[in-house]
Amino acid sequence: MTISEILTAYLNILWNSFQWDIHYFSQVWMYYLLLIPFIFYLIFFFVKWAILTLPIWLPFRIIIHGVININLKTKSKI
């Protein structure tokens, strides 16, 4: 598989997951009983998307955390 095929497959997974979530958020039963189903699905939604987008945001977080640690170490030596 080439990089473009892998990227296309990953974006298809994200798009299908987003469509699935929008489908369930648009269901009327999600808003019955004081929004309890909606709240639980919203929590699941955030956890699911944090995991699905992990390959995108984790490298940036690691780089930024490393730069901050380097800056703190150099300031503490001064």
Phi-psi region of 19 (alpha: psi -120 to 50; beta: other; left: phi over 0): alpha
Domain boundaries, the chain: 3-77
Total-model pTM: 0.78
User: What is the pLDDT, as a whole number, of residue 30?
Assistant: 85
User: What is the pLDDT, as a whole number, of residue 78?
Assistant: 63
Select the more confidently predicted residue: 75 or 53. 53
Say which DSSP state 1 is in.
-
d(CA 39, CA 46): 11
Alpha-carbon distance values, 61 to 21, 66, 75 (Å): 26, 8, 21
Instruction: Quick: pLDDT tens for 4-50.
Output: 999 999 999 999 999 999 999 999 988 888 889 999 999 999 999 99
Whether the CB-CB separation of 11 and 56 falls below 8 Å is answered with no
